[in-house]
Amino acid sequence: MKTLAELKEVLKDNKLDEAFYEFGELSDKKKFNEKNPEIIVKGVGKYTLDSLKTNIVRKLEDLARKAGADEFDYVNEQLNPKGILNHFVKAVLDVENEIHSPNIKRKLTIRKKMQDQKDVAKKIINEKAPPGMEEWIIKMKPKFKEKYGDKKGIEILYKTAWDRHNKNR
């Protein structure tokens, strides 16, 4: 049977896509919130990254209070290398390493490009002028932008153009 170190070496040698994370990893590697991803803390459960960090801060504040009250047996127990606090900290480090891995960065880049393409397509669809209203839209565009602002002005302009077109049918 191979040791853990040997298995890690095999993973590196084979250049597998997914890295080996011992304490924590992203819950869903395809669809995750890049600012606050849901993560799996192995052997414990699912957390969002922010809630896990908050939990760690609370535990450390509790340790400081216990140390101030001379309860060093409790502090020692919590600082055990196999304890839950250490497990949580290592899970955060694993996930942050995973988020910054080339594989995940590539997925984020692809997701952003796809979203940009969707936004462009949506803009094109939303700015389709009704038949016969093109000149009116060109003429009124500066007035609507001035009155309502750039983004909202364009939305209102095209909505008004379509309302006028549908009313005159």
Share of the chain above pLDDT 90, in %: 36
Non-local CB neighbours of 55 within 8 Å, separated by 6+ positions: 47, 88
The DSSP result for 90-158, as a single string, is: HHHHHHHHHHTSHHHHHHHHHHHHHHHHHHHHHHHHHTPPPTT-HHHHHHHHHHHHHHH-HHHHHHHHH
Please tell me the predicted confidence (pLDDT) of residue 8: 62
**Domain identity same for 110 and 139:** no
pLDDT at residue number 108: 84
Would you say 94 and 21 are in contact if contact means Cβ atoms under 8 Å apart? yes
Is residue 75 domain-shared with residue 151, that is, in the same domain?
no
pLDDT score of 15: 45
Other C-beta atoms lying within 10 Å of the C-beta of residue 124: 9
Whether residue 78 lies inside any domain: the answer is: yes
Question: Containing domain of residue 158, as a range?
Answer: 129-167
What's 100-112 look like in SS3?
CCHHHHHHHHHHH
Question: Are residue 14 and residue 69 in the same domain, yes or no?
Answer: yes
Q: Please report the pLDDT score of residue 16 as a whole number.
A: 45
Residue 76 lies in a domain: yes
- The per-residue pLDDT for range 35-76, each reduced to its tens digit, is 899 999 999 999 999 999 999 999 999 999 999 999 999 989
Do 154 and 77 lie in a common domain? no
Total residues found in the chain within this entry: 169
Decide if pLDDT at 132 tops 70.
yes
- Structural domains in the chain (count): 2
Same domain, 113 and 145: no
Shared domain for 109 and 29, answered yes or no, is: yes
pLDDT at res. 89: 94
| Residue 107: C-alpha distances to residues 28, 102, 110, 111 (Å) | 12, 9, 5, 6
Say yes or no: 114 and 150 in one domain. no
1 confidence band (pLDDT: 50, 70, 90): low
Same domain as 144, residue 107 = no
Residue 124 belongs to a domain: no
pLDDT digits (tens, 9 = 90+) for 91-130: 999 999 988 888 888 888 888 888 877 776 666 555 678 8
C-alpha span between 110 and 102 (Å, rounded)? 12
Q: At what angle do helices 134-148 and 150-167 cross, to 10 degrees?
A: 140
Percentage of the chain surpassing pLDDT 70? 83
Both 133 and 112 in one domain: the answer is no
